Amino acid sequence: MSSMMRCTPDLSFKVRLSNGDKLTFHSRVLTLNTDHGDILLDYSKNLVTEEVMKMLMELAKSRGVESARERMFSGEKINFTENRAVLHIALRNRSNKPILVDGKDVVPEVNKVLDKMKHFCQRVRSGEWKGYTGKTITDVVNIGIGGSDLGPLMVTEALKPYSKGGPRVWFVSNIDGTHIAKTLAELKPDTTLFIIASKTFTTQETITNAETAKEWFLRAANDPSAVAKHFVALSTNPSTSLSQPFFFLQWVGGRYSLWSAIGLSIALHIGFDNFESLLAGAHWMDNHFHTAPLEKNVPVLLAMLGVWYINCYGCETHALLPYDQYMHRFAAYFQQGDMESNGKYITKKGSRVDYSTGPIVWGEPGTNGQHAFYQLIHQGTRMIPCDFLIPVQTQHPIRNGLHHKILLANFLAQTEALMKGKTADEARKELQAAGLSGEALEKLLPHKVFEGNRPTNSIMFTKLNPFTLGAIIAMYEHKIFVQGVVWDINSYDQWGVELGKQLAKKIEPELESDAPVTSHDSSTNGLINFIKKHRA
């Protein structure tokens, strides 16, 4: 395999684009046409030349992106540390083309689970499924954490406009008792359905919250047989004791699992037809990623631009900035998707990397972020590549579309401002027009200058609907895959989350007594003893 790219960015790459250079725009824009609306990627506001783009595509080829892509789609066990295939693509395989793992086609099993989900959703949403008092289900509580929570939460929030006729959905993840206590306070036991979502059914936070929910329920029902009407399980563990299990397979990674039975809360909320459209959008993007040449491949372009900034400019973070309030959990979802996947310093051969890998991912919806952290993006000392996302059409065209027109204007203005900046001459003229001169002007002038040349991608789509959302999620999933290949790391394990859990199990029994502890480092001993001294 070719060695990892080493580079120091040449300042000549920092080319200013003059007032919307049409040639540059048309050479660096891709429009993906679907039956459910178009998706446009404009990557013209990046610090790259045609030579750089060719170099990045050659790097992708030399690092084996194309062959790795084939191995994933063919069901090879590319998650070698856990000896598992990586087949979230099979969960949304709407073509029903066979996908083999250990010589067995997994598609029939996927479809079997989807059929069971469909039937269950129809029963709950129609009112056929009754609680123990004979009332219909009005509320669904998803109890899970990590991939069993973040994906369903993000999607149900993003697709709220499609939830008509469905139950309300709630999500409990944190072991902090406040989370479940405040949720249960809003609910009635006889009209609430609990979904216990855990891949192994051993996750401490999920099982503890599930047991708390069960105790709360039984205080009202006072009949253990009623549990079956109000609790269902989503798991790979066939030994779960709940009577309504929805299983998924071991090759479903937690942070890629919303397409599986883990998405039951999504399907209940928006209806199974819309859930199928979500799957179809992801499948559409899978086909694009699988078949498009690298230089016309949206996930590949996003991935390699990210590599360019991380490994050549030393950028440490990447901002996801959706200009749609329904997508307010999008960045939080891909914090796990990206950082748990590519936050690794060990290569596939077991050696330590000598280059940077996954970035810190963060962001908030526009325009909220503009009034919070955009100051740092515009005038801070760190370069922060940003993805700006926005639907052309809004779900709420109130006041003759005024709100959305303002939102669109801000979206467009921010990427232009980050690209062009404001020169000292431009700032001077503004200050003079405002009546300033002399020492007062010169004192303020440096603060009014914007360097510009801050890179952004603009991702626009016709409307936020289930299909488009599915495609966008899959787009970022494949971006993460490509970067993992380039960095020669396994994007599909997560050993980094284990050590803290192991130590927590040792510390928990030490919190039982009031006796001081001395068995840890001095800092941890001091913290434990402070807790013992001050707890009620």
Q: How many CB atoms lie within 10 A of CB 175?
A: 15
CA dihedral for 523, 524, 530, 533, sign (positive or negative) = negative
Q: Are 195 and 235 spatial neighbours (Cβ–Cβ below 8 Å)?
A: no
* Burial class of residue 21 (count of CB atoms within 10 Å of its CB; 0-12, 13-18, 19+): middle
What's 450's DSSP letter?
A: B
Q: Are 391 and 461 spatial neighbours (Cβ–Cβ below 8 Å)?
A: yes
| Dist. CA 328–CA 155, nearest whole Å | 10
Whether residue 192 has a cis bond before it, omega within 30° of 0 = no
Cβ-based neighbours of 315, under 8 Å, separated by 6 or more:
309, 359, 382, 383, 384, 385
- The residue from 157, 276, 340, 364 that is catalytic is 340
Q: Are 467 and 277 spatial neighbours (Cβ–Cβ below 8 Å)?
A: yes
| Dist. CA 124–CA 114, nearest whole Å | 15
Residue 340 known to be catalytic = yes
Tell me what percent of the chain is helix, strand and coil, each rounded to the nearest 5: 50, 15, 35
- Give the chain's end-to-end CA distance (angstroms, integer): 59
DSSP string, 326-367: GGTTHHHHHHHHHHHHH---B-TTSPBPSS--PPEEE---TT
Q: How many CB atoms lie within 10 A of CB 390?
A: 22
| Dist. CA 332–CA 191, nearest whole Å | 30
| Dist. CA 54–CA 441, nearest whole Å | 45
Residue 371 known to be catalytic = yes
- The residue from 97, 112, 119, 371 that is catalytic is 371
- The residue from 54, 501, 505, 506 that is catalytic is 501
Residue 24: which H helix or E strand, with range?
Answer: helix 22-27
Angle at 467 between CA 465 and CA 473, to 5 degrees: 100
**Closest-CA residue to 99 (of 253, 278, 286):** 286
- Residues β-bridged to residue 319: 362, 386
The residues annotated as belonging to the active site are 340, 371, 501
